[in-house]
Amino acid sequence: MRLLLSFDLLLTLLFLSGSVQVSSGHNITDNRTGRVSFAADSAPVNFIKSVKEISYDLAVVQISSVLSSPGAEAPAPAAAQVNLTTLMSKKGCKTFADLLVATGDAETTFESNVAGGLTVFCPIDPTMKAFMPKFKNLTADGKLSVLLYHGIPVYNSIQMLKSSNGVVNTLATDGTAKNYNFTVQNEGEVVTLKTPVMLAKITGTLIDEDPLAVYTIDAVLEPRELFKPAKAKAPAPAPVAEAEAPAKSRKRHHASPPAPAGPEGAPADNEKAANDESCGVLVLFGLSKTPN
C-alpha cells in the first residue's frame, strides 16, 4: 500500500525500512501486511483510507483514532506579566491605583503576590474620591492597611466567589493582632463583601486569569480595626393615639314615650297644665259682695 508524504526521502525510507520518524515525533510503520500505523508515545493508530492526495505534496488520510502530539501537550507559555496599577488606571480605578503607588510599599506588596495568586477588589473612581476625606485623616500605617485590605493573597475566579461563602484573610492581615478580614457572601450571581462596618458589591471584572483576578466594587472596604460601625438609628416612637374625650355621662337618656292620643286640643291643654303645675303658683278667685 502506498502512503503519500511530503518528501520523496520519507517515502524512500518508509518503503525500504518499513519505519520512519517525522519531525512531529510520530513513527510511521509499514507492517508488511498491508497495514500502515502511526504512533508517538501512545498506542499506535491505523491508517483507514486516503481522503485527498496531491502527489509528493499533500496527503489527507483517515485514521482509526485520535493521534496525540507531544508538541501539542507541552505546557503553555506563561502569560505576559500584567502591570497591576496600569491595568486599574485604564479600567476605572485610577484613584485607587495612584494611592497604591504613593503609599508606602503598597504597590510592591501587591505586585510581589501576583505570582503566588492574588485577588484584588478595586473601588471605582467616584467611590474612592468620595472616601478621600476619611482616608486623609488616617495615619500612614492606617492608610497602608486600608489599601492592603483590598487584596486577598490567593487567586479567586468569579465562579469560585459565586460558589463559596466565608471569612477571608487579606494582605493587611498580621497574625492575630490585626485580623483585617472580611466575609465573602453570594446570592445567585451577586457577590458581596461584608465587613463589620459596611457592605460592598462586585460590579465588574478587570481581569480573571490565573494567577491574577481584579474586580471592581461599589464601596471602599472599611476594616473594623480602623473604623467604627455606624450607630443604628433608634426606631421612631410609635404615634400615641389621642385620648378619648371623657363622656359627660355614661348614663343613657331615653326619650319619654309620647302621650296617648286624646281629643283634639287635649295634648296642648295637658302640656299647659303641666307647665302651670311645675311653676307651683296657686291662683284664687273670690267674689266680693256689693253693698245695697
Average pLDDT in the chain: 76
Q: Reduced to 3 states, what is the DSSP secondary structure of residue 185?
A: strand
Q: How far is CA 74 from CA 77, 79, 99, 116, 240, in A?
A: 9, 15, 41, 22, 79
Average pLDDT score over residue span 19-44: 59
Average pLDDT score over residue span 241-269: 51
Split at pLDDT 50, 70, 90, the class of 19 is: low
Cell readout for 123 is: 473601588
Average pLDDT score over residue span 12-33: 53
Backbone angles phi, psi at 16, to 5 degrees: -85, -40
Instruction: Report the range out of 136-150, 219-233, 277-291 with the highest average pLDDT.
Output: 136-150
Q: How far is CA 244 from CA 140, 241, 290, in A?
A: 64, 9, 74
Instruction: Report the range out of 111-125, 241-255, 269-283 with the highest average pLDDT.
Output: 111-125
Residue 286 neighbours by CB under 8 Å, 6+ apart = none
Split at pLDDT 50, 70, 90, the class of 64 is: low
Instruction: Pick 140 or 68 by higher pLDDT.
Output: 140
Instruction: Give the least confident one: 82-86, 105-109, 220-224, 259-263.
Output: 259-263
pLDDT of residue 108: 95
30 pairs with which residues across the strands? 36
pLDDT of residue 10: 47
Average pLDDT score over residue span 215-223: 97
Whether pLDDT at 4 is above 50: no
Average pLDDT score over residue span 101-126: 96
Listing DSSP states for 251-288 in one string gives: S---PPPPPPP-STTHHHHHHHHHHHHHHT-------P
Q: Where would I find the H helices in 137-195?
A: 140-148, 158-162
Instruction: Pick 237 or 120 by higher pLDDT.
Output: 120
Instruction: Pick 49 or 85 by higher pLDDT.
Output: 85
Percentage of the chain modeled with pLDDT above 90: 46
The distance in angstroms from the start CA to the end CA of the chain is: 188
27 and 81 Cβ atoms separated by less than 8 Å = no
Domains, the chain, in order of start with CATH, read 8-63 (no CATH), 84-217 (2.30.180.10)
Backbone angles phi, psi at 9, to 5 degrees: -65, -40
pLDDT of residue 181: 94
Average pLDDT score over residue span 43-71: 71
Split at pLDDT 50, 70, 90, the class of 207 is: very high
pLDDT of residue 130: 96
pLDDT of residue 228: 87
pLDDT in tens, 220-238: 999 999 998 877 565 666 6
Maximum CA extent, the chain: 196
Distance CA 250, CA 19 (A): 121
pLDDT of residue 7: 42
pLDDT of residue 283: 46
Instruction: Pick 171 or 20 by higher pLDDT.
Output: 171
Instruction: Give the least confident one: 14-28, 71-85, 107-121.
Output: 14-28
196 and 181 Cβ atoms separated by less than 8 Å = no
Q: Which amino acid is at 291?
A: P
pLDDT of residue 41: 61
